[in-house]
Amino acid sequence: MASKNSKNDARFRDVAQNRRALHEYAITDRFEAGIVLQGSEVKGIRESGATISDAYVQIRNGEAWLVGAHFSDYENAGYAGHDPRRTRKLLLHRKEIERIAQALAEKGLSVVPLRLYFKEGRAKLELGLGRGKTLYDKRRSIAERDARRDADRAVKAVRRR
């Protein structure tokens, strides 16, 4: 039997990831937020997914909002479908919202969605609080990744002999 906290568990099913955010931002904190969705949005996400790569988070009137995410249409929704690009409310604790708002007041920090997944039947969004990387930082990250990959290849080659 799989452990309760296993990432590969059926309870945690990734729907969308924002890999570009990990390349463009140095993520310092992560938050898990629920999303207020309509029924056709949930079915559309389960059926054909969502896109969060262009999305960002705003704090307005003490509430967190997801702006710019695209949640696919559910083809059997009929006339009561949903707008795929509408702004959606995020469900966070008050202290988390205040912490995010203080961080956004600092220059250069932003909140970006990292991944969208289902956890025990509910849609969740992992948010990352981070500072934008400069071109130099991006090059250094790429160089470190390449060096790590080359070292792993060398170790693997030595083990084969």
Question: Total domain count for the chain?
Answer: 1
Q: What is the pTM of this model?
A: 0.72
pLDDT along the chain (161 residues), means of 10: 50 79 88 87 80 90 92 70 78 94 86 91 90 79 90 90 78
In a domain, 6, yes or no: no
Is 138 among the domain residues?
Answer: no
pLDDT of residue 72: 78
pLDDT of residue 128: 93
Write down the pLDDT at residue 139.
85
**pLDDT reported for residue 150:** 93
Residue 83: the pLDDT is 67
Residue 50's CATH number: 2.40.280.10
Q: Does 47 fall in a domain?
A: yes
- Domain coverage including residue 94: 14-133
Let me know if residue 68 belongs to a domain.
Answer: yes
Tell me if 142 is assigned to some domain: no
**CA pair distance 66, 124, nearest whole angstrom:** 12
Strands 56-60 and 122-132: unpaired
Residue 97 — left, alpha, or beta (φ > 0 → left; ψ -120 to 50 → alpha)?
alpha
pLDDT at 2: 46
Q: In this structure, how many other beta carbons lie within 10 angstroms of the beta carbon of residue 159?
A: 7
Q: Tell me if 120 is assigned to some domain.
A: yes
In a domain, 153, yes or no: no
